[in-house]
Structure 1
Amino acid sequence: MTSVFDRIRRLADQVERGSTTELDDRARACRATKEAVKDTKALVESVRVQLGEAWHGGAGEAALSSLEDFKKNRDDQAEDLEESARSFEVVRDALAKAQLEARSKRADADALQTKLDNVWRGLGSGTGTVVLAWAEDKVIKARAVVLLADMQRVVTTYDAVLLVEGLKIRNRTGRVWELAGSEKRNPAEIAAIILQEIPGLAALVAKNPKLDLALLEGDWDTIMRDPAVARKIYDYFGFEYVEDGDFYTTGEHSVQSYLGWHDIYDKMEKLIGADLDRTSAQGDNMEFTDPATGKQYRLELWKGSYGFGGAFGGEVGFYTSDAGDDSGYFSAAQGDDQIKVTQQIYDKQSGEVYFTNDGQGADGTDKRHFWNLGIRTEPGVHPDQLGQRATIEVQDVGMRDRMYDEMTRYATAHPEEHLTVTKGSDDPPVLSYDWRK
């Protein structure tokens, strides 16, 4: 039977197998690649300037525009690489701390086991009594159990950092994907780690009497202004407070990004205290297909109240499923499929704009996301009071036109939704809508 001391050592072995040197190498590789990308950008810019002096007309201008896009893409890639380097360094530092603690816990376990062995060895040599030996045995083993709990905390804390930073890296595009390492965790593993973090989150709140009171009163604005609490909530639940607009939004690496979308989720809104209008009337959804790839897309709109009437806001979600997938499950849009949304929630009667989310929560500076969410903590605002309007920028004109055609079809089929859709520019490809259900 495995002893508590063996379990401590096994956990220590698990942590010590990690390599801080390898993580450091990956961070340096990201930055070296970033410099190469910047050099390529400079070369492209030089070529673009030289060609711009001689190229004229439609074809020449199109080629120059492509070079400009290529240069901007290099900027985005360099930013991705720098952020990935920082993620690797965060994991490296967390691993170094975990390994230091693991070595200390292992040494403590060895010392306790030696002490336990000496207790029973002393009894065999005639010193001490069985009663005293038994009592000391229980005390030492109790300390070992506490030590095991500490060792498990060390592993869980490191694993949580690895999960968060890993999600950030894996959701980035380009060469960064190849540096990501392990495969995605399944939702059950993510849920398990989040549940393990809840006591730590509660402990952070309990340390501050003001936060403790705010929690009792449901005052999330005050709670989220505490940097340590806000960081933990963002890392594990994806929510962050946008002080400038006084609303909450979500990051791209949130747990929701791994849960995707299924119609059954709407049936659970009452469980989380939501009362929402949504664009899925009588089971009719806004869906379209890319004729070249067969990939299916779904656009979802929501607006209404959250938190059992304590908050209000809206959401714009964009999801994909592979060709031939008829399971009803859609993944959160990633990479080039993501959309840039500026969402505005307003009062239909007065016209007052409550807030505008112009892409807050998206990674980097491109403001592209699979989900534009904005929620303000203010009670007493109901779905029928709210209007939602937004502009949506997509990757290409073909996708914009398919989205526009599908939204127009839906609006015509459901006049009670009071949804109006308008095409915008082709460069970038944009549409806008106003939804006054």
Structure 2
Amino acid sequence: MASSEELHKRRAAAVARGIGSVVSSYVDHASGAMLTDVDGREWIDFASGIAVTSVGNSAPRVVEAVQRQVERFTHTCFMVAPYESYVAVCEMLNALTPGDHEKRSALFNSGAEAVENAVKIARHATGRPAIIAFDHAYHGRTNLTMALTAKNMPYKHRFGPFAPEVYRVPASYPFRDALPGTEAAARAIDLIEKQVGADNVAAVLVEPIQGEGGFVVPADGFLPAVAAWARGTGAVFIADEIQTGFCRTGTWFASEHEGVVPDLVTTAKGIAGGLPLAGVTGRADLMDAVHVGGLGGTYGGNPIACAAALASIETMRELDLCAAARWVGATVLPWLHDLAGRHPLIGDVRGRGAMLAIEIVVPGSSTPDPAATAAISAACHRGGLLTLTCGTYGNVLRFLPPLVIDEPTLYRALNILQAALQGAEAG
């Protein structure tokens, strides 16, 4: 078997430079919350493939379901010759997403594809052009979703021009604006009404907790106020639950924490245990407004991915992974707050369930410190903990452990993090 060093040399000669990786080790196998690289080194996985392997890597039910499906058939394209598992996943999404209204779903391949199609549906159903997005938002890397994404580098730099009729307004960022949620919403709504016009808005697109933008949890009242404004003006309220969905924050979907019922919900990542699948779910009148043939894609709702999704959801229910995520939050948040009390470079601790973060700043200020953030993350990697950074300023460490992580492994991870923080402060 090739070593990581050998693979890295092969990669340099074969893989486009624009594809980056967090670490230079190459994975050989993985199980649950642990990764093992080709050199035999073990890592505790606090990335979960960016919130994808919530049920753990190579989850038994997922493996069995995929193996069975591969033996039966691998692909027909649902638009050509349909199959039951696509219908079953849509039924699951209709039942699990917030609200008891009549719903419909459509399946795609990736989160960006789901967002694009949600925008298409909203524009078609309303006949309006404008889409409202927020500061610090991340929605994908396609042309339209780059327009919706806030951060220039590395996502948008020199890739324009971007899709038109996308307008950005301030989000709620309690650490940096200190506004109550209703005031932050009023600020955003005022800008929409002045600069875009309510009658022009097809949809308001928001992450209930911002992901790549820094795991920013909006102040209480922000989401309900924005959703109520959209409902009152005839705009579609789209919740991007791609990173927050499927038990990650302690409920099936993060919108539930404040009782928000979106018109459309986009999903991906944790839905299928590591296989590529995404969905748009929402009000039947909106979803059915699009003409036959207006939605689709060759691989969308592939039967293998659908089998994995059904097995993942069954695993989430059987193991009560919503409760597991709440346990992670109840265990880790006090630890992080204690660390913040002893390490002044931690400016903020935030998150819900198993979607947690610390924001790193120059001690005694709110000035972002991306260099220290990178150093802490690198120290975690050297210690055997795989972590990710994020945030508009590159100064947030985010933690996304698989929801099946056990207590000893979780505490080992926290001890590695503590040592990394101590090392960063020591110079």
Please classify the TM superposition score into its range, dividing by the shorter chain length: under 0.3
TM-score, length basis structure 1: 0.23
> Which protein, 1 or 2, shows the higher relative CO under an 8 Å CA cutoff with sep ≥ 6?
2
Greater per-residue helix proportion: 1
Larger Rg: 1
